[in-house]
Structure 1
């Protein structure tokens, strides 16, 4: 890699760090090509991205971003997972790491906050942004459905009483 390619890579990584909401740093020692491909697919499906990086260039790209505090995590064979959604990358990496011991989570950052391994795991247990939106929409729609049911109930009860009265009168 010549200097121009390195500077372009640093600039591209810097842009990704500026746009990201969360970054998770992992050790990927011993993962096969098939396992990395499966990991990338799983992360992509979650709405995040995964990149194997060069440590020195990544530390340069972190300069001037909100993720500067995680620069010390870049030692050894590292890779990063990042996303705009504050939960997507952490959840995808954590789920993959549960089934594969070769992927080790080193830590991460959520905005200016540096996260330990436990912090990343805790973040992974939270519902994603889309799940929260769905729950909120369900909570908003539920009261309207209940109100409609309550308003219809007295009319239905009156109709049943009148029907019973009419049947009683017919029988007599």
Structure 2
């Protein structure tokens, strides 16, 4: 490879590092061209899986300000440059590696920080951004429903209390009216008795 080609390759890899939210490093020794195509398809449109030369990648990582990859760049290397959700790409790599044990996930970098193979596995176990957003939206909806019910409860209780007080007041007024009616009846009876002629 000529010097100009090497320089162009380094610049291209550097741009991939700078434009990616994460980059996951793998060893692909023994995988067929067909399997590599299948892997690229499984990672989706937001991830570019590229076979790289270790020495050029070390220079590109250094130029991009990324440390911690040098020890991982040994043997046949390929990098998944992720522009979308790193969790989805990590899941795709993990699932492909389960079906094709020749793919070895060596580690990577996310947000400028190096990741070990174990940390990539933990990343793959997380829920995707879409699932987390859906859960957050569901939790917010439930919280809003609870808040609405909480605000509605005092109004409902107030209405019930007002109805109960009104009923009690009507009951007391009805009782007072009947009590005053019976007093009148007694005094009329007294009058009738007193008007009766003495024997």
TM-score range, shorter chain: 0.7 to 0.9
Kindly tell me: are residues 2 and 15 of structure 1, through their superposed partners in 2, closer, same or farther at Cα, counting changes over 3 Å? same
Equivalent residue number for residue 13 of structure 1: 13
Question: So what's the TM-score if we normalise by structure 2?
Answer: 0.68
**8 Å Cα contact 2:27-2:76 kept in structure 1:** yes
Q: What is the rounded CA distance, in whole Å, between the counterparts of 1:43 and 1:67 in structure 2?
A: 23
Q: What is the rounded CA distance, in whole Å, between the counterparts of 1:57 and 1:128 in structure 2?
A: 32
**8 Å Cα contact 2:90-2:123 kept in structure 1:** yes
Q: Deviations along 1:69-119, whole A, 9 cap, x unmatched?
A: 112211111101121333233222111111111101111122343222111
**5+ residue gaps in structure 1?**
159-172
Task: Kindly indicate whether structure 1 or structure 2 has the higher relative contact order, using CA contacts under 8 Å at least 6 residues apart.
Answer: 1
**8 Å Cα contact 2:26-2:107 kept in structure 1:** yes
Equivalent residue number for residue 49 of structure 2: 50
Question: So what's the TM-score if we normalise by structure 1?
Answer: 0.78
User: Which protein is bigger by CA-based radius of gyration?
Assistant: 2
Equivalent residue number for residue 109 of structure 1: 109
Question: Which is worse superposed, 59-68 or 17-26?
Answer: 59-68
Q: What is the rounded CA distance, in whole Å, between the counterparts of 1:82 and 1:127 in structure 2?
A: 20
Aligned residues: 154
Q: What is the rounded CA distance, in whole Å, between the counterparts of 1:29 and 1:110 in structure 2?
A: 24
**2:63 partner SS:** coil
